[in-house]
Amino acid sequence: MGKNLVIVESPAKAKTIKKYLGKDFEVLASYGHVRDLIPKDGAVDTEHDFAMHYQLIEKNTKHLEAISKAMQQAEALYLATDPDREGEAISWHLFEILKERNFLNNKEVHRVVFHEITQRAIQEAVNHPRLLLMDLVNAQQARRALDYLVGFNLSPLLWKKIRYGLSAGRVQSPALRLIVERELEIERFKTEEYWTIEADCKKERQKFTARLNLFAHKKIKLLASEIKPKEQETHLSISNEAQAVSIRTTLLELAQGRLQVTKVEKKQLKRQPQPPFITSTLQQEAARKLGFVTKRTMQIAQQLYEGIDIGQGAVGLITYMRTDSVHLAEEAIADIRETIKTRYGEDNLPKQPRQFKTTAKNAQEAHEAIRPTLAGRHPDDIAQHVSPEQLKLYTLIWQRTIACQMIHATLATVGVDLACGEGNNFRATGSTVINQGFMLVYQEGIDDKKAAPEDERLLPPLIEGEWIPLQDILPEQHFTEPPPRFNEATLVKDLEKLGIGRPSTYAAIISTLQQREYVTLDKKRFTPTDVGRIVNKFLTEHFTQYVDYDFTAKLEDKLDAVSRGEQAW
């Protein structure tokens, strides 16, 4: 039995840390939270300064007993739970329970914090412990009290008015509202027909297309509904087949088999890399690129963080996966830059390291972005030791991290105007990559928007004044589409934008909505169920505050202020 007892949340984390600390340290897991509010009325006593009444979580009592037994033998306690609000609260609850049982008398108690599970980080944390941060603990208690009070007061009403077993939550209810409102928007949507007209051109052996953007001196707008009254004389929309065919006939007669190049615009664009991952952007990209649901992304990220045996015992492969910060430690940046130099050459390394600004108000710069613990550990180096899913997520994190410190990509864009008689114009656009830069390693995925393929096209060399053979003019029918239903990536993006919930809660919000049968996930898109619609209608009409986006976001800001010690809970 070691003289020092270290407590972490999970057995996987315990195993990795034990390897680094040696025989003087015993490392045990609490298996998550050890106490929660009593599940009945009065758990939060609103009459007596919101006193909170806790009880032990039954399934974790055996782990708590093992911790208590070990503490009787140990000389010092190291609370090494996760470096966030929840982790701080778990440490505090453990401290309180062991203190009540008189197992801490005359014994040293330390809180140790690390953001990656590597030998250096663990040794550093143990050598520089701190005290429990009561501001963080209180912020978690305030959050838990609010969740309890909202749920405990609203849920019975839903049982009474709608059906037994339903629940309302401080964060899940606004999230449900987002999904229901999007569905209502889709149902109200009126499809509008519109037509585009394209010229098929050819120069030597290279074909390209150009789109009509001016006809009879009038600018083309896609939709008739977009043309304002004052624009009637200067703008035009092609809204039916007869009109499109008539325009085609006119243009073909005017063209006589050729169009004239009247303008060639060339520009160079710089495209900058995205910042390294934070929790929400990792969840979004894993959904877009890997098809992972949010909960799965977090489970796999946790495995990579807690440690995997890659040949020399378990080692943490990524930094802590719940973070709002895009900050990278100086030594991490040096490691990344060295990897870029070795793998991609000095040409792809900017003179100065890139610094990214964290936008989240509550992000702590001591926290880091999600990155590999060792930049030189290429995905190929660990491929045979990890599962296919772990490899996919690690690869995504590795690529994004390396790319964020590489030079920008340089693109050449070209826009060409082709005249067809007086007052008629076709426009062709294209782009080429001059220097890939960071795009050599990574490009961010796209949500729901159809990438504009014409912008990616290569155009032949074109010179102002030259005549280009016209092969045909083709009208094409289109219909406007309703806004898409949310998928996990776009829902997380909107929740984050509105300030609802926090990175650690997004996966739980989505799971709760599905478990309560408020929404279904069909082809990776959320559709509200009838029950979800009824619950949302009931809450929206009678308890507006609880589903109000602004109210929920401001509450999150206040809880963040408590965690920073700026506000009393």
What is the pLDDT at residue 6?
97
Residue 365, pLDDT above cutoff 50: no
Between 554 and 117, name the one with better pLDDT: 117
User: How does 110-136 read in b/e, with b if 16+ C-beta sit within 10 Å?
Assistant: bbbbbbbbbeebbeebbeebeebbebb
pLDDT level of residue 445 (50, 70, 90 thresholds): confident
What is the pLDDT at residue 1?
54
Average pLDDT over every residue of 103-116: 95
Which of 78, 320, 442, 546 is catalytic? The answer is: 320
Owner of token pair 């690690």: 394
- Cα separation, 146 vs 501, in Å, equals 13
Give the contacts of 95 (CB within 8 A, at least 6 positions apart). Answer: 77, 79, 104, 109, 132
Helix (DSSP H) and strand (DSSP E) numbers for the chain? 18, 20
What is the pLDDT at residue 451?
46
What is the pLDDT at residue 458?
82
Do the strands 76-79 and 4-8 form a parallel or antiparallel pair, or are they unpaired? parallel
What is the pLDDT at residue 312?
81
pLDDT level of residue 150 (50, 70, 90 thresholds): confident
Which of 6, 5, 13, 11 minimizes the C-alpha distance to 316?
13
What is the pLDDT at residue 99?
95
Secondary structure string (H, E, C) spanning 355-394: CCCCCCCCCCCCCCCECECCCCCCHHHHHHHCCHHHHHHH
Strand, coil or helix: what is 32?
A: coil
List pLDDT tens digits, range 2-19. 699 999 999 999 999 998
Specify whether the CB–CB gap between 50 and 145 falls below 8 A. Answer: yes
Average pLDDT over every residue of 556-569: 80
148 in catalytic set: no
Which of 7, 106, 100, 23 minimizes the C-alpha distance to 55?
100
What is the pLDDT at residue 146?
86
Residue 457, pLDDT above cutoff 80: no
Residue 448, pLDDT above cutoff 80: no
Strand, coil or helix: what is 194?
A: strand
Distance of CA 396 to the CA centre of its chain: 13
List pLDDT tens digits, range 346-362. 999 999 999 998 776 55
List pLDDT tens digits, range 258-315. 999 999 999 999 999 999 999 999 999 999 999 999 999 999 999 999 999 998 888 9
List pLDDT tens digits, range 15-40. 999 989 989 999 999 999 999 998 88
Between 45 and 365, name the one with better pLDDT: 45
Q: Which domains does the chain have, with CATH numbers?
A: 4-132 (3.40.50.140), 139-188+484-563 (1.10.460.10), 193-272+408-479 (2.70.20.10), 279-403 (1.10.290.10)
What is the pLDDT at residue 287?
93
Residue 454, pLDDT above cutoff 80: no
pLDDT level of residue 403 (50, 70, 90 thresholds): very high
Mean pLDDT, the chain, rounded, equals: 91
What is the pLDDT at residue 51?
87
Specify whether the CB–CB gap between 26 and 70 falls below 8 A. Answer: yes
Average pLDDT over every residue of 492-505: 86
Residue 80, pLDDT above cutoff 50: yes
pTM for the full model?
Answer: 0.86
How many other β-carbons are positioned within 10 Å of the β-carbon of residue 209? 15
